[in-house]
Structure 1
């Protein structure tokens, strides 16, 4: 393919950057000069190529079929040929060069066409895309509302069951008390009946003696019948509630009284900037695509360098910035930034330990979490700190998306009323926007089973999959960007203890295994297929905990028993 416009002069192959509007052909600089020197062409109009006149399409005159239409009568407003202009009906009329009019109209139409292609069509397609995204968001929000409704209903049902159970238990207690009282009364009357029988025998005995003895015998007196009280059984008072009362308890969906916000339409002036930005993105995408085509797994792993990180006692998690700087955290909550020579640049004291609770963004910001305060912090390159809270949920792990900048957070909810504060009630992965707006919650699989127990390391693959290292589940749990469960990887032995996790430009998943019989880094394909133990004790690796891949495809590995971070090459 020719990569520039060739000069129209015969046998000249130079760049035709000029154009002769009379000859209608491109010219190079040398041929232009010769063209202007020639007596035959020195009066020709030569312009830069982009300012050329468009060549008039050939159209034969109806009156003079051998002549081309090339003039325009301004009074009659019709095109005609040069011979027609000499006719009596055009005597004294003014004429324009039809080619100039055509060029002007062509340029105008081309400009409008360019606007459609570069602005109106892409902008409208972007608005349509926004509508599709809004539709997806509406579905997510409504599904979240339905889930919340079901949870509220389940909670109310549990309370109803609990109150009913307590009430029923109370009836048994009351019944037992009443029966005990009646049993006591029954004993009283049994004793009184025995007394009457004994007294009756005494009367019979007195009646059987002689009359003179009866006259001098003591008259027996009968004790009165003991009084008892009838039990007063409890009365059940039915609750007074109706459907509206239940609706108030469960809540309802309301449409906010908010005026809909108009969609933002990019102004025409931004087209040039947008196009330049798009071109740069395409160039970067092409570079990445070319790199992917040339990269492959090496037959062996090569150690590039290693260095000690001051200020930490171990390297449980590693985050690499684009600026060739590194964040490393240890088990004691020390979070340290170093350069690649191991020089300490910053240090932050946190409440975290053996979790993947920090991440570096593409902009060079640091995002880290505080599980006790339930807060996610963003520290910018100019050291300004912003934060947003996570409510009742304790954030454990965090990852900044390389695709769209979203923040992925692995979180747990603990029972605050339990004597054992470590009891985990629920676990989930939440997606936030850069500004901290909650976008997505991932908790259950398609069968309604919990996906996570303790998601303490998290990352994202090139296809949008969310990959979570769950130590308590002894598995790497992978869902797609919509939150649908794709697969769970459970290691290659009897026990799998996953810690740090990351992905690379080829879509591989790399995860640390700290189990005693393994202590290695597993390499998986994008679908969870085991490829190899990329690092093991044979390479001198012991207890790998943190892994990260930089933009140069170097693998950084941190270990819990040392503050040394080792860098490897595993792609070629």
Structure 2
């Protein structure tokens, strides 16, 4: 066998071909032989070998599950591999020749097992991809409603206190006015009585004077009294008694006060049922899953889709001016690169590697991302802000991160949302913002309340909406679905794993740089490790990765300014 090329050596396989002495990528699978096959061995299997040309060859991920080995109780040297349809029991081939099974019809037990396995896998997938996320989403809605109820009730209590305070102020005001009025009434009445007192003082003085005159007349010894006029006494002045004020208490009840202050009640309307997303799309996916074991070689060959190539091909290299290294890479829809180093230099180049613009910011994580519209989103850790750069080089402030420190940033190619890894003191989370910069979701804990992240430094989104986060401090790639439900965590293939740059491709693969082995790992959509797509022989110290619209893989390196473009899909 000839020696592999440099590009082939750079691709170290995890799923190797099952043909003896063949070490190529076993991306196909023979359902009859139950072994993986590379592309070359697949062709030899069904074209050149007459004994196996009718074997069913499918993609590895569509393989039929092999029947578990179980020995026949009657014939211990035989495996149970057929099913008697009349007796409804599993048998070995020798049992089928026995007299009690004469004339019976039999099914291939492996076919039944594969079908049942696909059905159970489908049900399991429903739980993981529909029921559990939907229930978790509904639970989050309940929690949001509880928060809203608390806010509403607190607002109502504040309003009630304000209403009561307002009424109390009015009561105090009216009471104060009434009391002031009593003082005025009291003064007026006392002044009237004082006037009457003066009248009587004057009258008493008059009487005393008259009394003296009478005494004078009565004491004379002459006959003056006989010739004087009789003195007349003035009548006593009349006065009136004051009409005493009377207090009439207000007539009110508790109900009257309730009417004044208002009340709280729940409208007599029918509660609205929470919306549960239909499972139509998921059902379609499940039906497809249930039929995967029936896919034939002809259908697989006719299917015009991309697949993993048996080798990685280097297309070209860029030497990026203005940066110390290529720590993170983004590519926009025009094919222009944005490259940043670990000291805050952010540079845009054209497809020839010429510098178009340069920005000075701060940080070393995956802090910039190209959008659907051709803009670039980047964050400045020192200023605690996220900015947008339009194709005409206009820079505008986009989001303020407040107390949090923004780390990784990613723009969704599905809906344009912005995903931001955040670190706040000892807590970490991924926050989703709308295209307009409005905060709409926080992903922080799993279903058990445990923190999902420690340092979410690089973020990407898969074709199914899963959010894939490279967490350096947690030594893991943490994947949640679009509702924030934890799906899986990938912790590498060795004793240590230091994830850096991360991206996904059109087939749903997850590609992540490992700073310990200085390789790029390729995972399937569900977190299953496939193989090392780039080893140290291909690219030295890979740190940043991204995939463009033409399915080219860009890899940035730690100790050089080089960004290398590869082809790994065919």
Identify the structure with bigger relative contact order (alpha carbons < 8 Å, sequence gap 6+): 2
